Structure 1
């Protein structure tokens, strides 16, 4: 299979369009200052869609979120927890909770 190098204008053969198609599609015209001034944020224009996206993305907020810290531990301790597989950090957190009586 012969690889084609992209031409300086971005056209590449074998992508489902012809050179004629490529040339007929012009770049978007630049916006005027007046048009730019009229732009509004997506959330303002489509609040319902933005809210629906927010609900679908990520986990729900935790009642007591975890806090990232830096701590130095013995390599053997880390290795032992990692050897238990995925979720080792949560198991380490649980072990620490037990150690402090929570």
Structure 2
């Protein structure tokens, strides 16, 4: 019977067919000692002006309206606060 069963897994791939780990592969690899990440491999470049995480308490009615404005409300709020600060309004 040559028909594959629905329960059969994907075709087996021989691990010896994996690409060779060359110098570039090791340069770009994450380095761990145990479970601790020591060096992160190549990834997203660092952001020049990264945003900072903070806790902020808002009135529930204000927060409700912000969330109701749709996806991206936190970015829009940050933009409005930044504009107000730069104008000297805050």
TM-score normalised to structure 2 length? 0.49
The structure whose RCO (Cα within 8 Å, separation 6+) is larger is 2
State the structure with more CA Rg: 1
Greater helix content: 1
